[in-house]
Amino acid sequence: MKTSDKNQNMKISKFALLFLFALAVNFAYSQKDVEFNKDNFKNDKAGFKAAMDQLEEGDKYFEYQTRGSFPLALEHYLPAQKFNPNSSKLNYKIGRCYEGSIQKKKSLEYFKKAYELNPAVAPDIRYYLARGYHLNMEFDKAIAEYNAYKGSLAPKELQEKRKMIEKKVQECENGKKLIKDPQRVFIDNIGTTVNSEYPDYSPLISTDESMMIFTSRRADTYGGGRDESDQQFYEDIYVTYNIDGTWQVPKNMGKPLNTDRNDATVGLSPDGQQLFIFNGQEGGGNIMVCELKGTEWSKPDDGTLKKYINTDFHESSASFSFDGKTMYFTSSREDLSHGGHDIFFTTWDEEKERWGEARNLSAILNTEYEEEGVFMHPDGRTIYFSSQGHNSMGGFDIFKSELNDGGTWSAPINLGYPINTPDDDVFFVLNASGKRGYYSSASDEGVGSYDIFVITFLGPEKPLVQGNEDILLASVANPITETVIEATVEIKTMRLTILKGTITDGFTGAPVAAEIEIVDNEKNQVISVSSSNSATGKYLVSLPSGKNYGIAVKNPDYLFHSENFNIPSATNYQEITKDIALMKMKIGSSVILKNVFFDYAKATLRPESYPELDRLHKLLTDFPSARIKVTGHTDSRGSVETNTRLSNDRAKAVVEYLKTKGIADSRLQYEGMASKKPIVPSAKTEEDHQQNRRVEFEIIE
């Protein structure tokens, strides 16, 4: 090679090196980690001082490392970061604040920035970078970062954190599977009528979805005070009513439910007459009970919960069974727990009039991790809860389990994505039909920092048919012009019947407070006792499918009223409205005994009849001067002679039963009317004939 050529090549190489060096310098400058040092901001001393004041104030809150202190730190860190966006330490701290607060997904951009500026900004930066990816459902990147963090640990620290990191990786693997099979649901913000700019959460609904009670930290909290730990308004309990499908403006429930401290919703009985609330001032946090008496709620009390339910540990959520005889609750008690909070249950002791000893619900449901937000559906078989264990995709996921015929619980099923996310999804409740659920979330689509959302379950997917723009809804944000889903969608509903209505005085129409007794006719067993509201007369009872129910409505000043509902196991969700008018105890008043049963064409009382006849016996015992006439009726089918004999014998059978119970013969009359007095004169259907076949009694003296 010629010397001149060699020199020329060297000049080119030097030029190339200088060019690359310049690029590297420029790149390094663009990624420079700028510390909060006055030497770095000589040209803006005032701005630097203001930013430093914010930074130092934010550090005071950051040191507390609590969910309440992180948002307060952010209020100061964000203005400081606006002044100097290239501080790795500040970006790391902002990421930590977001990761530890409600808006967790925002942490990722700050962790990424911090790592880009200085990969050694903090020993755990790779862990928190993984958390950011995890929360944003970038699962593969999260797994890579978790493993990178794991690989950076010294042996001793690895031993301490290996299980935690491996669980996080498994959560990401769970998430990858769950998002591949999204559930067919609509998730909508319940709207600005209910949600506010403040946190709104923990919704509870009555079984018929007519009332919602929830917790909020809005400005009109009772007393107007703020919690010192996070400077937000204290929690208060609010109520809204569903009128014609529209939730109304919520009202603060005031005293005695709300105090000048934190008061939060925990659980609601199916009929909406009993409310569990959380009181953080007692023990480690206890459950209290309030009862709706007319239009007023009673003072919160834990008298029936003291011995076995409330402890020095943390009791945080609760739910009734459909019959009110079993209570499910979560507690952090250590003696019976599998780890953290577990789900427990207790049954009502009729004799002692208090809840009995608490027992751990099941090792199938409870894990070594946290369980929260238990909700027992009024179908009596399906329990919903949130857990950090099982196949959670991160934080708390919502699960469901069903009670098997043998009394064991099925393996929990994750409700899936998009209901569950890598963040905490907790305090879920489902309406009676199973079509709508409610929960709270810190969604980007929220009105405030935490909002209540409604989930509409769409059921199994229908075949797609060809469509065009003309038949699409204008309200759909991103309409599909190629295909549309058929309008009719089959939705799996709960096997449950809701019976509701109003109980009134048969003469004045005034509301009546009455006891409603539900009997399993097959077992001759009272399974629940509830009451109608004294101010409105309204009542609501849940009847899971698979039983023949006798229902008795009683008030000491009235004749009892009875109904019968035979609900086969295969019966899906239905609502029955039954208004009941009670008759005063006076001459001429009569009652149809709807739970008196005979075999076909026979006059022998079946055992299922005894609870009904025992109520009649009690009535005659309570009113010792009363005399009654029992009348038997048949339908119009069959001969007059046969019907007359059958109706007479059946009425006689009732009288004979009462005599064996000690009622004097002189107080009892009976008569067979055959088909002479039908309820439906021109009976055509089997239902018409069934109404005409009956036994009734009338007060004659």
Q: What pLDDT was estimated at residue 231?
A: 77
* Residues 444 and 553 placed together within one structural domain of the fold: no
Instruction: Say if 16 falls within a structural domain.
Output: no
Angle at 277 between CA 274 and CA 283, to 5 degrees: 130
* Residues 112 and 228 placed together within one structural domain of the fold: no
Q: What pLDDT was estimated at residue 522?
A: 86
CATH number, residue 684? 3.30.1330.60
List the one residue out of 380, 503, 453 whose CA is nearest residue 212. 453
List the one residue out of 625, 615, 620 whose CA is nearest residue 593. 615
More confident residue, 472 or 437: 437
Whether the predicted pLDDT of 489 surpasses 90: no
Residue 73 to residue 231: CA distance in whole angstroms:
12
CA 100 to chain centre: 25
Query: Domain span at residue 544?
Result: 495-584
* Residues 669 and 685 placed together within one structural domain of the fold: yes
CA 545 to chain centre: 21
Instruction: Say if 198 falls within a structural domain.
Output: yes
- Write out the H or E segment, with its range, that includes residue 109: helix 107-117
Whether the predicted pLDDT of 601 surpasses 70: yes
Instruction: Say if 335 falls within a structural domain.
Output: yes
The whole-number average pLDDT for the span 21-38 is: 63
CA 87 to chain centre: 43
Q: Are 201 and 215 in contact (CB under 8 A)?
A: yes
The count of structural domains within the chain is 4
* Residues 507 and 398 placed together within one structural domain of the fold: no
Instruction: Say if 647 falls within a structural domain.
Output: yes
Instruction: Say if 87 falls within a structural domain.
Output: yes
Tell me the CB-side half-sphere exposure of residue 482, using CA atoms within 13 A: 1
Residue 450 to residue 607: CA distance in whole angstroms:
55
- Write out the H or E segment, with its range, that includes residue 485: strand 483-485
pLDDT tens digit string along 229-247? 777 889 999 999 999 999 9
SS3 at position 364? coil
CATH number, residue 49? 1.25.40.10
pLDDT tens digit string along 360-381? 999 999 999 999 999 999 999 9
Question: Hey, what are 431's tokens?
Answer: 């309406």
Strands 211-216, 580-582: pairing is unpaired
pLDDT tens digit string along 381-415? 999 999 999 999 999 999 999 999 899 999 999 99
Residue 83 to residue 76: CA distance in whole angstroms:
12
* Residues 200 and 271 placed together within one structural domain of the fold: yes
* Residues 44 and 149 placed together within one structural domain of the fold: yes
* Residues 408 and 260 placed together within one structural domain of the fold: yes
Residue 60 to residue 76: CA distance in whole angstroms:
10
* Residues 201 and 321 placed together within one structural domain of the fold: yes
* Residues 81 and 146 placed together within one structural domain of the fold: yes
Angle between helix 88-99 and helix 107-117 axes, rounded to 10 deg? 160
Count H helices and E strands in the chain, helices first.
11, 36
Amino acid at position 273, single letter? Q
Of 437, 459, 481, at which residue does a domain stop?
459
Instruction: Say if 402 falls within a structural domain.
Output: yes
Residues in the chain, overall count: 701
Of 180, 202, 225, at which residue does a domain stop?
180
pLDDT tens digit string along 638-697? 899 999 999 999 999 999 999 999 999 999 999 999 889 898 888 888 888 878 889 999
Predicted model pTM: 0.83
Q: Are 409 and 400 in contact (CB under 8 A)?
A: no
* Residues 403 and 264 placed together within one structural domain of the fold: yes
pLDDT tens digit string along 80-114? 999 999 999 999 999 999 999 888 999 999 999 99
Instruction: Say if 520 falls within a structural domain.
Output: yes
* Residues 189 and 158 placed together within one structural domain of the fold: no
DSSP 8-state secondary structure symbol assigned to residue 600: T
Residue 283 to residue 265: CA distance in whole angstroms:
18
Of 138, 157, 180, at which residue does a domain stop?
180
Residue 482 to residue 449: CA distance in whole angstroms:
37
CATH number, residue 431? 2.120.10.30
Instruction: Say if 477 falls within a structural domain.
Output: no
* Residues 232 and 309 placed together within one structural domain of the fold: yes
CATH number, residue 573? 2.60.40.1120
Question: Hey, what are 112's tokens?
Answer: 């990424």
